[in-house]
Structure 1
Amino acid sequence: MPIRSPKVAVCLLLLVSFVWGAEFVLIDLAVAKMPTHAFNAIRFCVAAVSLLPLLWFSRHQLQGVRWLPLLSASALLGFMLFIGFYTQTEGLRFTSVSNAGFITGLNVPLVPLLGFLLFRTQVARSVWVGVIVATAGLYLLTMGEALEINRGDMLVLICAFGFASHILLTGRFVDSMPVVPLSILQLIAVAIYSTIAAALSPEPALYYADSTPLTWQDHLQDPIIISSILVAGILGTAYAFWAQSASQQILESHKVALIFAAEPVFAHLAAWLVLNEHLGNQGLIGAAMIIAAMLISELGDRKQKVTVQPLDQTAVISK
């Protein structure tokens, strides 16, 4: 059925945040064995293939599609994703998980800020309050007592700009383009960019230079890598970016960013359940502030009339 309710869209994006948070442990283990470019190339190939069945539901929408604008938009969105995923993973090699989590979370305030600077997009005062509260909550949830800027921090800062730009640009494209082809093509673009980057890199494509040489057969027999690719590719990538594209036909970009700010909350919950890690008082306060920020943004917009436009018929969830 078509997605027409903002509440359904919010639930879809919260599920995306949950998947992203829960898969962190698997991906962290996988990229310790397989370099980032190779992992992302396979991950995004799996993601693109897993979305292909949805083309059956949207095949009538392919008639009359303007392919050049669609391919151009997909290449640009894919490049933003490629930059975001690569710099985040690579940055973790040089900085702490806490620093990376907070700096990645800066895409929350960056979305309305870049939207205002680039497109003069006006947002309600309640949204700015929510952004400030969410940023403070992310700090308490992920940071220690001091913030030290290093090479990894700068890489992850680029990641935050990449993800924020992707959210903004998705909001500009989804109203005029079919969601499923747009989602599939941008995932293919990331796989192509990652493959090219792996081929051009002076380092080995399938293993780290200072580790034991590995082949494709070795990786295919590793349950951690296989499970990571399947979970990250199908749920964390294919479903996630289809849900984002479909939901942004109803929700504004800044609201999507605030919902995605719940990702570190779910990541800590997964770590607590799987690794027996605990948030502590500071982390609990930060998580509560993130949830409060989402509520502030939503409740503050209640007085404004919400315009719900008919969704593209390709944005469907099969029963």
Structure 2
Amino acid sequence: MSETTQEGVLAKFATPLIILATIIWGSSFVVMKNSVNVLPTFWLLAIRFSFAALVLGVVFWKRWKLLDRQYLIGGTVMGFCLFLAYAFQTFGLDLTTSGKNAFFTAVYCVIVPFLYWAIARRRPDRYNVLAAFLCVAGIALVSVTGESATAFNLGDVLTLVGGFFFACHIVAVAKYSEGRDIFLLTTLQFASFALFSWLGALFASPAPDPAVFNGGLVFSLVYLVLFASAGALLFQNIGQKYTAPATAAVLLSLEAPFGVFFSILFAHERPTPLMFLGFALIFVAVVCSETKFSFLRKKG
């Protein structure tokens, strides 16, 4: 397959790849919650992204010939933003509910259009802004209901900070992926993420007891490495390369409703009318972002 043909195929499947990533992440919330209860945060992230970088580095070994200074800079910046995002989100998850963690992470929907405006001088249109606020409102109804609707706490604050750095990561991908091989860039992103995590693990977290690495934890780690990291984050980066940052942010927010859906399916959570209203708002937000409601306007 020629490079031009490959670019065309990837661009065509950009939106489905982002949505597939959110489905995988939605299914991983329970796995992540169980893992963070056993492993210190930095150790979990270090192990997860070291193996993810190794997997992509081997699979895409032919891409290493493209490596230069700009790839190293781009991969490091992307990895650092993602490291901060995951670190704050994971620490937050340990101190708050899964639902609130999903919701407060989703503030990046609102931050991305304005952050991209500040960095790239590309002003968001009214549909980008409307979609972002509809999306956050929908996620609030889906995620923060019932037992999740508890008082604001430190875990929520940490999660909000994580949401900001997720927005930084989305903008960084948009900036550094332009004209570059996304497979090599993602591999370098994982490698730098792993390096920062190991620094945190060695200096800020005690080593875990080897006895915790039982069959259940190993299975969880394999799932997080192969699907939630090497698979989903690669899909995200590919999709983002061919999608406007504001639109990508709204599509990525589907992680929250998918997380609730899998909780209903496998953890026997009970859906509420507010959840269904939230799903409807998120659907309208995605339609708004993707189509700008062009089908409602009369064609001249």
Q: What TM-score do the two structures reach when normalised by structure 1?
A: 0.84
Moved over 6 A (4+): none
C-alpha distance in 1 between matches for 2:224 and 2:293: 33
CA contact (8 A) 1:106 1:160 kept: yes
Match of 2:290 among 282, 289, 298: 298
Match of 1:16 in 2: 21
Deviation at residue 149 of structure 1 after TM alignment: 3.2
C-alpha distance in 2 between matches for 1:282 and 1:141: 7
C-alpha distance in 1 between matches for 2:20 and 2:278: 20
Match of 2:133 in 1: 132
C-alpha distance in 1 between matches for 2:100 and 2:270: 18
C-alpha distance in 1 between matches for 2:239 and 2:94: 33
Deviation at residue 147 of structure 1 after TM alignment: 6.7
Higher helix share: 2
CA contact (8 A) 1:100 1:153 kept: yes
Alignment of 1:26-65 (within 5 A): 26-56=31-61, 58=63, 62-63=65-66, 65=67
Alignment of 1:85-164 (within 5 A): 85-144=86-145, 148-164=151-167
C-alpha distance in 2 between matches for 1:131 and 1:297: 8
CA contact (8 A) 1:54 1:180 kept: no
CA contact (8 A) 1:268 1:278 kept: no
C-alpha distance in 1 between matches for 2:91 and 2:248: 25
Alignment of 1:72-87 (within 5 A): 72-87=73-88
Cα distance per residue 1:214-250 (max 9 Å; x no partner): 21xx244x12211221111111111222222222231
Deviation at residue 119 of structure 1 after TM alignment: 2.6
Cα distance change, pair 133–147 in 1 and its aligned pair in 2 (3 A): farther
Match of 2:8 among 4, 11, 20: 4
Deviation at residue 98 of structure 1 after TM alignment: 2.7
Give identity over the alignment, percent: 26
Letter in 2 for 1:252: A
Match of 1:282 in 2: 274
Deviation at residue 89 of structure 1 after TM alignment: 1.0
C-alpha distance in 2 between matches for 1:72 and 1:95: 34
Deviation at residue 277 of structure 1 after TM alignment: 0.9
Instruction: Give the stretch that moved more between structures: 127-136 or 48-57.
Output: 48-57
Cα distance change, pair 56–89 in 1 and its aligned pair in 2 (3 A): closer
Question: What is the aligned-residue RMSD (CA, Å)?
Answer: 2.0
CA contact (8 A) 1:44 1:188 kept: yes
Secondary structure of 2:13's counterpart equals helix
Instruction: Give the stretch that moved more between structures: 8-17 or 273-282.
Output: 273-282
C-alpha distance in 1 between matches for 2:173 and 2:199: 24
C-alpha distance in 2 between matches for 1:3 and 1:54: 19
Q: What TM-score do the two structures reach when normalised by structure 2?
A: 0.89
CA contact (8 A) 2:36 2:94 kept: no
Count how many residue pairs are aligned between Structure 1 and Structure 2. 288
C-alpha distance in 1 between matches for 2:111 and 2:102: 15
Give yes or no for the alignment of 1:236 onto 2:213.
no
Deviation at residue 93 of structure 1 after TM alignment: 2.3
Cα distance change, pair 172–234 in 1 and its aligned pair in 2 (3 A): same
Letter in 2 for 1:168: V
Unaligned runs of 5+ in 2: 296-300
Match of 2:183 in 1: 180
C-alpha distance in 2 between matches for 1:301 and 1:71: 40
Letter in 2 for 1:300: K
Cα distance per residue 1:164-217 (max 9 Å; x no partner): 10000100010132212111111011111111111111x4221xxxxxxx21xx
Secondary structure of 1:23's counterpart equals helix
CA contact (8 A) 1:26 1:224 kept: no
Letter in 2 for 1:130: A
Deviation at residue 57 of structure 1 after TM alignment: 5.3
Deviation at residue 302 of structure 1 after TM alignment: 5.5
Cα distance change, pair 301–9 in 1 and its aligned pair in 2 (3 A): farther
C-alpha distance in 1 between matches for 2:293 and 2:200: 43
Letter in 1 for 2:254: A
Match of 2:298 in 1: none
Give yes or no for the alignment of 1:223 onto 2:223.
no
